[in-house]
Chains A and B, each alone.
Chain A
Amino acid sequence: MTYKPQTSITAWLLVMPAVALLGLFTHVPIVGSILHSFYSTDRPRRPSRFVGFDQYDAMFEDPIFWKALTNNLIYALGSVPFSIAIALAMALFVNERMAGRGLLRLAYFTPTVMPMIAVANIWIFFFTPDYGLIEQVAQALHLPAHNWLGSTNTALFCVTLVAVWKEAGFFMIFYLAALQQIPTDLKEAARLEGASGWAIFSQITFPLLMPTTLFIMINALINAFRVVDHIFVMTGGGPNNTTSVLLFRLYEIGFKYFDHGQAAALSVVLLVVLGLIALGQFLLFDRKVHYQ
């Protein structure tokens, strides 16, 4: 391709503002995190100095780090499949001529529009022992009482549930868009040949939705490492760190304890995780989908 110098200059001028900002707030911090993770935290009587892998050693010795990592993985593996499945179901429901579908679409999408920090308060009430909504229903049904957010074996589940509730509606939109792209004659043809509803779904619809599913899956995975607002309000990372996830831990270390060296090391871990997801996307995606 021949590059006309004038076009090149124009192009660079057009691109510069965005790229500069991106560089300053994405690329520079990535490098910065890596660099700072090799230094100790700056304290008044002990200025920052090079410490090699000490921060990583300290981090790997910290049982809370491993807790946060495991929790984050469970949280991701728990929320992603369910969000996708529910989003798909929602899209299928709303796509048909069902009674009240406009209202349904509204209902499904509403959680996405509300601030997580606000709805988390409501969910706290639902999970409150004794008189919270869930417990009241349980009592009416004579089921045993349970302290949902205050038990180490259910707190993470509750937090995951809230995440699924928040995200499914958003992913539904993607599925809706994709569903409407599916040519109707395909389905008509199948139906004329006597295929059952399930067969049409599993052999025509779902495969055609595969690119969307993969796209949503990658997004959901990334979000599983990003969405922590509700944890702040509902459990504060507890009980006993059972709902602490990487980003939440990063906030604690960086902005509650002001330990910047550790925070940098933890940032690097987060970056590595995201990098792995990106790698996965690259391998999966480009094999199945063509992008322009």
Chain B
Amino acid sequence: MSMLNRRMFSAMTVALGLAATPLKAADVEVRFYYPVAVGGPVTKIIDDYAASFEKDHPGIKIKPVYAGDYVQTLGKALTAVKGGDSPELAILLAADLMTLTDDEAVIPFDDVLKSPADKAWINGFYPAFMENARVKGKTYGIPFQRSTPVLYWNKEMFKAAGLDPDQGPKNWDEMREFAKKLTKKDASGAVTQWGIEIPSDGNTLWLFTGLTTTNGVRLNNAEGDKVTIDHPKVAEALNYWYNLSKVDGAQPAGLINWGTTPRDFIEGRTAMIWHTTGNLTNVRTNAKFPFGVAFLPKNSQYGAPTGGGNFYMFKGISAEKQAAALAFVQWMTTPERAADWSIKTGYVATQPAAYDTPAMKAYTADFQQAIVARDQLQHAVPEVTVHDNQRVTKVFNDAVQAVITGSKTTEAALKDAQRDADRILKEFK
């Protein structure tokens, strides 16, 4: 259709539309920025939700804006806020809580709640997820797409290696042993099947927190102004990770790509992986073998960081938009919807009530793997959430990557990282 025809066509449509419907009051538009951080056709799911919401709430228009990964979405949102053009909502990392409050970009949901029902709603989420949603007692984030890392294992490969296919490794020693047994080489010595892959080039700190928590050490304090990096238990965790490649030869050397790891698992290039539970549906759809999902193996305790994104509401939007945005957030986080979202993606459902819904009960009846992450919540800790979070995260990531690539010793890397992190956090004390 040529430009001219298309313009005439749309002009006619508009004219007909105006003539046909009575003039209605201007719709309230709620823009929400969201990242896509797990596999699967998530864009479509979000769009469907938006459309359903609009049907239930005529007069509100939802405009999802797909902005890239979490980091890019944070950047876009902050840029928009600083440019005086805030969106109403965004789904951003729970861990970026303090970055957002320090910049005074977001408002507490408590200020927008009106009825007792609202207040009940805000208390219905898993406490593990709310730990890094609150600052000074006020709630800034509403959990939506939350996850923990889990260990996926290939049952066929376990059986072939003489291991019990229905039992994942329970502790660090077992994980090491299993990984070594599961590594296969061909005639020339090249590895055809790796025992384990723990990705190290994306969400490095998140997965590393899985190792440190199971080793019994916390990386940051609740106020978010102090981090513990140069600590023997942290060093232990890092060495364990590094030795899986260096000493045991059970994990590829150098940085392992976050994006290709699930695919490696699906294609049978590795027997075990650590990855977000949010990839569960992706793995389930594409893996052609039975697989298991387990807690992260413990060393001194079980533990895992929570991850993923919360809804945040931005400052500087009108009361009318606030109400509309709140309605959308509440609609998106009813137990039924939380269950639906969890089933479709593999993210952990954010409320206990969601697991009691019929849909979820039916789903977990024949797919036990789906509740592993939920069960791990009792051992979960919030991921590292501090001031100037992106910068401090980078310090951690750099240190871990330096050791994993063999370019720094663990001692040197952790010492440097502690010094750099302290310098960054100095102004927030």
What is A's interface to B at a CB cutoff of 8 Å?
Answer: 43-45, 61, 63-64, 128-131, 139, 142, 145, 147, 149-153, 236, 238-242, 255-258
Contact = CB atoms under 8 A, between A and B. Distances in A.
Contacts of A258: 78, 82, 103
6 contacts: A63-B416, A129-B252, A130-B269, A139-B188, A150-B257, A150-B405
Given A130-B269, A240-B401, A43 B103 contact: yes
A128 B104 contact: no
Contacts of A238: 201, 255, 397-398, 401
A43 B188 contact: no
Contacts of A239: 201, 254-255, 401-402, 404-405
A223 to B, nearest CB: 25
Interface in B16-61: none
B115 interface: no
B368 interface: no
Nearest to A139: B190
- 10 smallest CB-CB distances across A and B, nearest first, come from A150-B255, A147-B254, A150-B254, A152-B407, A44-B104, A240-B402, A240-B401, A152-B405, A239-B401, A151-B254
Interface in B380-429: 388, 390-391, 397-399, 401-402, 404-408, 416, 420, 423
A255 B79 contact: yes
Contacts of A240: 398-399, 401-402, 405, 407-408
A242 B405 CA distance: 11
Given A150-B405, A151-B405, A257-B390, A128 B260 contact: yes
Interface residues of B, number: 38
Given A129-B252, A258-B82, A44 B269 contact: no
B127 interface: no
Contacts of A257: 388, 390-391
Contact of A142 (B78, B188, B191): B188
A149 B259 CA distance: 14
B413 to A, nearest CB: 9
Contact of A150 (B201, B264, B269, B388): B201
Contacts of A131: 269
Contacts of B200: 150
B102 A44 contact: yes
A138 B102 CA distance: 50
A241 B405 CA distance: 12
Given A149-B255, A150-B200, 6 more contacts: A130-B264, A147-B255, A150-B405, A239-B402, A239-B404, A256-B75
Contacts of A152: 402, 405-407
A256 B389 CA distance: 10
B71 A44 contact: no
Contacts of B423: 61
